Amino acid sequence: MKKLAFVCMAGLFAQLSVNTAAVAQETYPARAVTITVPYSPGGTTDYVARMLAKQMSEISKQSFVVENKPGASGTIATSAVMRSKPDGYSLLMNDTTYAMLPAVFKKLSWDPVKDIAPIANVASTPVILIVPANSPFNSVADLVKAAKEKPESLTFGSGGKGSSTHLAGEVFQHQADIKLLHVPYKGAGEALLALVGGTVDVEISATPTAIPQITSGKVKALAISSPQRLPQLPKVPTFAEAGLPDYTVQNWFGLVARAGTPADIISKLNQLVKNSVADKSIQASFEKLGAQTVGSSPGEFSRQIANEIDSWGRIAARAGLEKQ
């Protein structure tokens, strides 16, 4: 009888363990989730993160909070998330810059492929070439002509060395056969403020960051990397129309966790992202600023990151970018 009682109790405890695990799985997220943005407020990555966090909070009935940790081209924030517990409560919202980091730094404190658990590509945008409102340049041809006459006399701002805005500028210089002087900032938002203030001469920005400044008359747009002109900016030519048909740079903005995060949590987060970007009001808000929601699977996003690390590495090498 004692043996039978022991077996029954063991079975009961095993069942309780299964039930407890099931409840834990069902209740994620059981507390606030932090989405870390590796740049200062005001840039497109920050905008996407805040839009997504708001929608995910509404759907899950739990708080998704955005925290900005700018500096070192996003490596400060990324390192912090990679040191966090892999439990789904510390996430990273990054952009195309992430795929560029291996081409910029000799050594990173994490493996850019093995140490992350991709969740979803949230959105993508074309980039746009902008200058201050009082700039003498009214076309790409004007800018290129002046840059060729006096190499490195014109400055271009970016969200940091090795950032997407930096390498987008390097690609532009290569294809236009010009040389500009790079001025890095701690994020695309800061770089844009510098451009508006006339501190730098030119910048290549993601459309959600730039469009409000363009429509308000604070900056001028010279070309956009979309295949066709945007309805929001019908007078802005594509790069192809401006004489640079091979300039097709696009930015992505995606969510990742630390490797080791349970697969069921990654799956739940992915579904939360998909449900969030499927919302018509979110799609309209993004489209208004020239962006498109994506909502890819973890596997698709993982392959995209790996492919872009390779392609941006070749671009950086061609641009002669020295690793730091």
Tens digit of each residue's pLDDT (9 = 90 or more) over 32-50: 999 999 988 988 899 999 9
Cα(117)–Cα(267) distance, integer angstroms: 11
Q: What is the DSSP letter of 237?
A: P
Q: What is the DSSP letter of 322?
A: P
The pLDDT score that the predictor gives to residue 22 is 44
pTM over 0.85: no
Report how far apart, in Å, the C-alpha atoms of 99 and of each of 96, 236, 253 are.
Answer: 6, 28, 11
Chain segment 163-211, per-residue pLDDT in tens: 888 889 999 999 999 999 999 998 888 999 999 999 999 999 989 889 9
SS (H, E, C) 84-133: CCCCCCEEEEEECHHHHHHHHCCCCCCCCCCCEEEEEEEEEEEEEEEEEC
Cα(52)–Cα(70) distance, integer angstroms: 19
Cα(14)–Cα(187) distance, integer angstroms: 51
Share above pLDDT 70 across residues of the chain, in percent, rounded to a whole number: 92
The answer on pLDDT for 89 being more than 50 is yes
**203 φ, ψ to 5°?**
-155, 150
Domains (ranges, CATH) in the chain? 31-124+251-318 (3.40.190.150), 126-224 (3.40.190.10)
Cα(80)–Cα(34) distance, integer angstroms: 12
Residues ≥6 apart with Cβ < 8 Å to 89:
29, 31, 32, 33, 34
The answer on pLDDT for 13 being more than 50 is no
Cα(52)–Cα(29) distance, integer angstroms: 15
Burial class (CB in 10 A: 0-12, 13-18, 19+), 7: exposed
